[in-house]
């Protein structure tokens, strides 16, 4: 069990998540891609904390903050997804171009 | 005493202004009010002539408005007032049917009042005012029947002619002020030094010649015949025409002070007397004949004034006033009764209307200068003054006297002789309707009010010769302040009587036949020597041409400069606008367009598609990372 393996896992998770976020059409799938990316970051952060500075607690705070961000993002994201689906029967990102300039 | 003099001018001017302003409303009472005012004025004039009052009032700074009745003025005011009263009484008869009497009598009284102020004024300023009022009212009176275009044109011609000559008085007044006679008193006008004295004199002579219709201004009197007959009677006898002669008599010291003015005036008078006498002979129209004879007879007064015979000139003026007023009234009576003033149509008119005929005959015999009637004697006085000056003047004057006998007797011949048996001679047709009513529709009667003034004036014309009797003559000379003038010698009386009788007899014998002279000459005389045409050619057309040239100058140069300035301003404005539009505005627009284009570019990544935003974010991060790696 070495740091490089965990970093590889984190990079893999992030890349898969990025690919998913960029390639998926469905909002839910995009959000899942984002979850994977954050998951990759959580893995990376935890691995850095565990292998490089296990004595300090600040690394754990970063992991907790990331988890909180994940949870809040999921809550808001699914709320928005549900609301937009109810309002417009839309579940694809391409069908909701409200941010077009 | 002074109230008398104020009243003398205020009564006719006030009554005249009142009547003229009241206009149609005063028509009913106008004639009798006018006659009453004239009679009151005559009474006041006699009173003023006896009392010799003098008044004065401030007018401008340094110039007073003075009125004074001295010897010459005393004679003039009585003449003017008496003739005015007679003429207005006659008009009351003539204007019986006509409307607009208020205006007529008002203007006549204003006219006579202005003449009274003229002859009593002691300063040039006041005289000039009255002089102008007289000119203006004469215009209104000549053009009295203003609905007829030709009468208005005649009034304009008469007014403009006298008005042009009037400028001389302004010149004289200006020169008098410049020369130091700032008070403009008539008796001080001769005071200025050499250069200004000549200007004053020239101005006065010009104005007097214009007003008196002397050569070369005579033609306006012909045009003035378009006025009603009473207007002619007043205008030709005691006022207007007499005003110029009066001015020369009054300002005689001025003529004497300059060497040239006296002979010039005398020769002008003599030439007018002769030339216009010939014109009178050639006239086919009674009123035109009388008008030309007025010029000629006033020429004798001017001749007297020019050769120093003030008393002689005054006597001639008075006698001529009475004679000519009567003659014009008689012609007017025939004109209103028969509707014509052509001599051939007036054949035997004196037989049809005996009262008028008697008056006319007396007047015409007087005008002819036959002894012992008045003009014979007074004319000899003027000729004696001329003889004292220059024998050639006397000869010309004597020739003029012969001509005056000729035209008077010619007029008399027509009105006295019975109609010829063959009707061809009498204007082409025998019956009265064709001969008469060429001017207006005659009434075929002479109103009763017309008779007394006619007879009165005829009587005065015949008897005023007493002015030339030795005792009376000396008294008159004393009155006008010109005692010691050379009176006529007995041989002169005899010679002129012989000339007048001879010429008159010749004219009577010659009758209505044409004078055997070339037609051009006859036409020239009948057309008043073509003076009006000459005035048109020499004055009117050049003045109009000059006016047109000046107008063109104004339009092209002055106005053109203004227009060019405006056009330049417009061009400059257009250039500035182009600069603004194509420069500043374009820059602003280009900036705006650039900003808009930038905005459009900035909006292009905003697709609204989430994954594209992610892509952009990912690419940006990648780039940032690359930069961080490379730059480090």
- Please tell me the distance from the alpha carbon of residue B591 to that of residue B588, in angstroms, as a whole number: 5
Residue B362's H or E segment, with its range, is helix B354-367
Q: Are B608 and A101 an interchain contact pair (Cβ–Cβ within 8 Å)?
A: yes
Return the pLDDT at B629: 94
Opening angle at CA B296, ends B519 and B323, nearest 5: 120
Of B603, B614, B618, Cβ closest to residue A101: B603
Task: Tell me the CA end-to-end span of chain A in Å, nearest whole number.
Answer: 49
Query: Could you tell me if B601 lies within 8 Å of chain A, comparing CB atoms?
Result: no
Picking from B17, B8, B3, B73, the residue whose alpha carbon sits closest to that of residue B38 is B8
Q: What does the pLDDT read at residue B98?
A: 57
B614 contact residues in A (CB cutoff 8 A): 21-22, 30
| B216 in Cβ contact with B188 (< 8 Å) | no
* SS3 labels along B462-492: HHHHHHHCHHHHHHHHHHCCCCCCCCCCHHH
pLDDT (0 to 100) of residue A92: 83
The verdict on a CB contact (< 8 Å) between A22 and B618 is: yes
Closest approach of B567 to chain A, Cα-based (Å): 53
Q: What's B213's DSSP letter?
A: T
Residue whose C-alpha is closest to residue B250's, from B130, B381, B123: B123
Look-up of token digits 């002055």: B558
Find the radius of gyration of the CA atoms of chain B: 38
DSSP B56: E
Interface contact A18, partner B, CB < 8 A:
yes
Chain A hits for B609, Cβ within 8 Å = 93-94, 97, 100
Are B611 and A24 inside 8 Å of each other by CB?
yes
Residue B530, judged by CB atoms within 10 A of its CB (0-12, 13-18, 19+), counts as: middle
Our CA-based measurement puts residue B632 at a distance from the nearest CA of chain A, in whole angstroms, of 23
User: Which chain A residue lies closest to B601 (C-alpha atoms)?
Assistant: A101
pLDDT values of chain A reduced to their tens digit, one per residue, 101 residues: 788 999 999 999 999 998 998 888 888 888 899 899 999 999 999 999 989 888 888 888 989 999 999 999 899 989 988 998 899 888 887 777 777 76
Question: Which residue numbers in chain B have pLDDT < 50?
Answer: 423-431
List alpha helices for chain A, DSSP H: 3-23, 27-52, 58-88
Q: Does the beta-carbon distance from A99 to B602 stay under 8 Å?
A: no
Looking at B186-309, list the stretches that DSSP marks H as alpha helix, in order from N- to C-terminal side: 194-211, 219-224, 229-237, 241-250, 252-257, 261-282, 286-306
Helix (H, G, I), strand (E, B) or coil at B230: helix
**pLDDT of res. B589:** 93
- Cα torsion B409, B411, B417, B422: sign: positive
Q: Which of B602, B603, B610 sits opposite A93 (nearest CB)?
A: B610
**Which residues share a beta bridge with B123?**
B185
Cα–Cα distance, B317 to B115 (Å, whole number): 14
Distance CA B171, CA B117 (A): 21
B76 neighbors B41 (Cβ within 8 angstroms): no
| pLDDT for the residue numbered B428 | 42
DSSP H or E run through B67? strand B63-68
Helix (H) or strand (E) holding B615: helix B610-631
User: In sequence order, what are the residues at sequence separation of 6 or more whose Cβ sits closer than 8 angstroms to the Cβ of residue B224?
Assistant: B138, B142, B154, B155, B158, B231, B232, B235, B236, B291
CA distances from B216 to B208, B255, B534 (A): 12, 19, 9
Comparing CB atoms, the residue among B604, B607, B618 nearest residue A18 is B618
SS (H, E, C) B157-198: HHHHHHHHHHHHHHHHHHHHHHHCCCCCEHHHCCCCCHHHHH
State the Cα angle at B158 between B156 and B163, rounded to 5°: 90
Q: List Cβ neighbours of B230 (8 Å cut-off, separation of 6 or more).
A: B87, B88, B90, B91, B94, B108, B328, B329, B332
Give residue for tokens 């075929």: B444
Measured between beta carbons, the chain B residues lying within 8 angstroms of A84 are none
Provide the sign of the torsion angle of the four alpha carbons B169, B174, B179, B184, taken in this order: positive
CB contact under 8 A, B608 and A100: yes
Interface contact B611-A21, CB threshold 8 A: yes
Both tokens assigned to B335: 């004109």
Q: Does B618 touch chain A (CB under 8 A)?
A: yes
Q: CA of A68, closest CA in chain B: separation in Å?
A: 22
Q: Do B611 and A98 touch (CB under 8 A)?
A: no
Q: What are the two backbone dihedrals, phi and then psi, of residue B486, each rounded to the nearest 5 degrees?
A: -75, 120
Give tens-digit pLDDT for B243-293: 999 999 888 888 888 888 888 999 999 999 999 888 888 888 888 898 999
DSSP H or E stretch at residue B585: none
Q: Do A97 and B605 touch (CB under 8 A)?
A: no
> Hey, is the C-beta of A94 within 8 angstroms of any chain B C-beta?
yes
The C-alpha atoms of residue B399 and residue B58 are separated, in whole angstroms, by: 49
Which CB contacts under 8 angstroms, 24+ apart, belong to B600-605? B602/A101, B603/A101, B604/A101, B605/A101
Tell me what pLDDT residue B592 has.
95
Number of CB pairs < 8 Å for A and B? 39
Question: How many Å apart are CA A32 and CA A35, to the nearest integer?
Answer: 5
Q: What are phi and psi of B139, to 5 degrees?
A: -60, -45
CA-based end-to-end distance of chain B: 131
Q: What is the DSSP string of B500-546?
A: HHHHHHHHHHHTTSPPSS-HHHHHHHHTGGGHHHHHIIIIIHHHHHH
Task: Please count the CA atoms within 13 angstroms of the CA of B243 that sit on its side-chain side.
Answer: 33
Rg (CA), chain A: 17
A98 and B613 within 8 Å at the Cβ level: the answer is no
Residue B402, Cα to own-chain centre: how many angstroms? Answer: 29
**Sign of the CA dihedral running B582, B588, B591, B596:** negative
Residues A101, B615: C-beta atoms closer than 8 Å: no
Chain A: residue nearest B605 by CA?
Answer: A101
Please name the member of B602, B604, B610 whose beta carbon is closest to the beta carbon of A30: B610
Residues of A with Cβ-Cβ distance to B598 under 8 angstroms: none
């Amino acid at each position: 069990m070495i740091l490089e393996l965990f970093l590889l896992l984190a990079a893999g998770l992030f890349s898969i998540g990025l690919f998913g976020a960029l390639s998926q059409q469905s909002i839910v799938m995009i959000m899942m891609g984002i979850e994977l990316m954050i998951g990759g970051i959580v893995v990376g952060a935890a691995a850095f904390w565990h292998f490089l500075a296990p004595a300090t607690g600040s690394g754990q705070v970063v992991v907790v903050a990331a988890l909180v961000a994940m949870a809040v993002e999921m809550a808001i994201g699914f709320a928005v997804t549900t609301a937009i689906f109810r309002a417009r029967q839309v579940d694809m990102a391409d069908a909701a171009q409200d941010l077009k300039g | 005493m002074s109230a008398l003099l104020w009243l003398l001018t205020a009564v006719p001017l006030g009554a005249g202004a009142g009547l003229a302003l009241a206009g149609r409303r005063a028509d009913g009472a106008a004639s009798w009010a006018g006659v009453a005012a004239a009679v009151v004025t005559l009474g006041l004039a006699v009173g003023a002539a006896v009392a010799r009052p003098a008044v004065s009032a401030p007018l401008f700074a340094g110039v007073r408005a003075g009125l004074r009745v001295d010897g010459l003025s005393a004679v003039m005011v009585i003449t003017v007032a008496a003739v005015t009263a007679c003429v207005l009484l006659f008009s009351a008869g003539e204007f019986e049917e006509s409307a607009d009497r208020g205006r007529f009598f008002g203007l006549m009284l204003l006219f006579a009042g202005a003449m009274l102020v003229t002859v009593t004024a002691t300063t040039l300023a006041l005289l000039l005012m009255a002089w102008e009022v007289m000119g203006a009212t004469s215009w209104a009176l000549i053009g009295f029947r203003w609905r007829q275009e030709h009468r208005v044109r005649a009034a304009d011609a008469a007014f403009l002619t006298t008005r042009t000559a009037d400028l001389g008085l302004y010149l004289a007044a200006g020169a008098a002020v410049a020369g130091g006679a700032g008070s403009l008193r008539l008796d001080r006008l001769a005071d200025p030094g050499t250069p200004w004295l000549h200007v004053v004199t020239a101005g006065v002579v010009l104005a007097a010649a214009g007003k008196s219709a002397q050569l070369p201004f005579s033609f306006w009197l012909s045009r003035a015949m378009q006025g009603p007959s009473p207007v002619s009677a007043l205008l030709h006898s005691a006022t207007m025409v007499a005003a110029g002669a009066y001015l020369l008599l009054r300002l005689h010291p001025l003529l004497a002070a300059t060497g040239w003015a006296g002979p010039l005036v005398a020769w002008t008078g003599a030439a007018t007397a002769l030339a216009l006498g010939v014109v009178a002979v050639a006239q086919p129209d009674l009123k035109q004949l009388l008008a030309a004879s007025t010029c000629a007879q006033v020429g004798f007064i001017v001749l007297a004034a020019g050769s120093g015979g003030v008393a002689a000139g005054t006597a001639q003026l008075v006698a001529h006033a009475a004679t000519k007023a009567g003659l014009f009234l008689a012609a007017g009576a025939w004109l209103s009764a028969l509707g014509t003033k052509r001599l051939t149509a007036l054949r035997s008119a004196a037989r049809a209307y005996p009262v008028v005929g008697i008056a006319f005959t007396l007047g015409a015999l007087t005008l002819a200068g036959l002894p012992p009637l008045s003009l014979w004697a007074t004319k000899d006085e003027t000729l004696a003054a001329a003889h004292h000056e220059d024998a050639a003047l006397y000869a010309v004057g004597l020739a003029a006297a012969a001509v005056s006998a000729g035209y008077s007797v010619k007029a008399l011949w027509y009105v006295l002789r019975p109609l010829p048996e063959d009707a061809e001679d009498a204007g082409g047709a025998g019956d009265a309707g064709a001969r008469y009513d060429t001017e207006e529709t005659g009434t075929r009667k002479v109103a009763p009010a017309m008779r007394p003034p006619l007879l009165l004036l005829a009587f005065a014309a015949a008897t005023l010769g007493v002015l030339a009797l030795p005792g009376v003559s000396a008294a008159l000379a004393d009155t006008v302040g010109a005692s010691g003038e050379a009176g006529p010698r007995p041989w002169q009386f005899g010679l002129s009587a012989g000339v007048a009788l001879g010429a008159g007899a010749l004219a009577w014998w010659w009758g209505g036949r044409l004078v055997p002279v070339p037609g051009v000459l006859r036409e020239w005389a009948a057309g008043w020597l073509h003076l009006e045409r000459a005035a048109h050619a020499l004055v009117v057309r050049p003045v109009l041409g000059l006016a047109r040239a000046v107008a063109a100058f104004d339009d092209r140069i002055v106005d053109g400069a203004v227009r060019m300035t405006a056009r330049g301003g417009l061009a400059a404005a257009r250039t500035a606008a182009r600069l603004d539009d194509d420069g500043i505005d374009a820059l602003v627009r280009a900036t705006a367009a650039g900003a808009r284009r930038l905005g459009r570019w900035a909006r292009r990544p905003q697709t609204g598609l989430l994954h594209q935003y992610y892509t952009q974010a990912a690419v940006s991060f990648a780039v940032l990372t690359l930069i961080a790696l490379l730059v480090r």
